[in-house]
Amino acid sequence: MNNEALAAGAKAKGTILCFGIDPVLDKIKSEKTGVKEKIEDYYFRIADRLIAEKQIVAIKPNYAFFAQYGFDGLYALKSIMDRYRGKVEIILDGKRGDIGKTSEAYSKEAFDFWGADALTVSPYMGEDSVKPFLREGKIIYMLCRTSNKGAENFQELKSKGKRFYELVAAKSVEWNTGLVVGATSDSIKRIIKITGGQVPLLIPGVGAQGGDLEMVMKAVRRNPHIHRINSSSGIAFAYEKRGGPPEDAALAEAKGLNAQMKKFL
């Protein structure tokens, strides 16, 4: 998926918002009883509503949140992938990356079995672990400057005068990949400068994590439609602060985020 396709998708939907799907059974409100059925019922209701109202351009199911529930969770993931394939972009958040042959196997899993449009990848093991994920029509987002507190442990370390995440950002241009850049740090400004604003970013951290959406939008305003801003629990569990049915609260939350973003689109 190239920049033109990403931009066209965003313009058609009128948004760059991505809905992160991270199932937490204790928070899921559903009258269904089985694990698979509860996850499907809850997220179908929300995602269907968001898509119908053109509030999202992508979904980002997090593999680990499904796998924690065993095969029931994975069957639910398959149902979600199948239901929304072709309706919105599907970014599988798997954070894969290993030696070449293992990366090839992970690549087949993500794109041939799950049918994802995009995948998150760890670049720590270098070029031969990243290249097997590169496919025509697909996109990989390499972890660059993430939104968690521990990101400082390694990503801010310097080598030859450059921070580690800055080196990853430079490689994204060379390797033709996207990047995962959290909204909780102003490092996005340096990353945009390094990449010339031409590398698509997956930007988590807005919503529940308290990322600075206005700062992010100002940083990406040169070429905003190629980027995807993700909110997961902030949308999925918006009922906790807004009340009412989860799908109504999720829609209101998404509309609020889009209203802020549209000032810069």
What residues act catalytically? 95
The DSSP letter of residue 264 is T
CA distance 193 to 185: 15
From the centroid of its chain, how far is CA 197? 18
The span from the CA of 250 to the CA of 52, in Å, is: 13
DSSP 233-244: HHHHTTHHHH-S
Residues 6 or more apart from 236 whose CB is under 8 A from it? 19, 20, 21, 22, 27, 43, 46, 246, 250
Q: What are phi and psi of 203, to 5 degrees?
A: -120, 95
Query: In the structure encoding, which two tokens stand for residue 145, read together?
Result: 């400057």
Collapsed DSSP state (helix, strand, coil) of residue 217: helix
